[in-house]
Structure 1
């Protein structure tokens, strides 16, 4: 601990700091244009070992609990609600894919600030902050990495159906 504060002030500072990090990172990433998320694939594509997201179901039974994860629109109403796909047209599916990228990046970026808490917290409390950051963010990252490959598959299927319909009409 670099800064020595009474425990009550440490607790207050922890709460305020986490609120600040959550809100600032979330709001900043909402300002990033959709076009950036559309173009950016690096880090957002499924890794081979994820088996197009199915690893999350087989190891963690994600379908059983992901519905209980709160959506950020509960706090930031301008956000995009990802509790369900609003429609199955290409535009809606694409927007949902973009928002899974935005959510995943947000939750990845919410983990590193935990290390700053060592500045004013005792080591044991700093470790608790790291555990909190992981518990509060990893399930959301897993949900995005589970959902996105399924949405991308739906997007490709929908696109192919539309192309076939156009061929039949012509």
Structure 2
């Protein structure tokens, strides 16, 4: 490796972490609407089968708990489900969108670095970014449909069903 290549690597490395720090500090202050789970980027695709693809083919349920978590300045931990309250579940779902967005943008920042980075070095940096971010994206996309099902179930249980003018037994 030439001296210039090493300098470019450290430039990319420093810029990557500077942008990461920026996302960590700025994301909690961005409008919640940017992380709406109904936005097309966050909706489950048909091929994902509501997260089953990740469980069946990537066995995400076996390794996801080994990934580190970062609550960030907003203090919302996604390590464990702390409540089944609809407001909490809605926030948890939105935070999975925020987390996914953060990791996708981390990869995107490396794509932009191609403008000044020699191809072989850029490819190396891209692989590092993919290895460091894809597992987190996969976990968010695996968990979100499960959380959305839990939210729907919780909301259904909280809303009494009225049939023939009477409440369903056990819901009163």
Using the size of structure 2 for normalisation, the TM-score is 0.83
- The answer to whether the aligner puts 1:82 opposite 2:63 as a matched pair is no
Partner of 2:21: 23
1:93 has 2:89 as partner: yes
After TM superposition, the structure 1 = structure 2 runs for residues 37-56 of structure 1, keeping only pairs within 5 Å, are 37-38=35-36, 40-56=38-54
**2:154 — aligned with what?**
158
Structure 1: 5+ residue stretches without partners: none
**Larger RCO (CA under 8 A, 6+ residues apart):** 1
Residues 121-160 of structure 1: pairs in structure 2 closer than 5 A: 121-160=117-156
Q: 1:39 to 1:57 in 2, by over 3 A?
A: closer
Following superposition, the deviation at residue 120 of structure 1 comes to 4.9
Alpha carbons of structure 1 residues 7 and 42: separation in structure 2 relative to 1, 3 Å:
closer
Name structure 2 gaps, 5 residues minimum. none
Alpha-carbon RMSD across the aligned residues, in angstroms, is: 2.4
Q: Which residue of 1 aligns with 2:64?
A: 66
Aligned residues: 164
| Correspondence for 1:109 among 105, 109, 119 | 105
Which structure would you say has the larger Rg?
Answer: 2
Name the SS for the 2:160 alignment partner.
helix
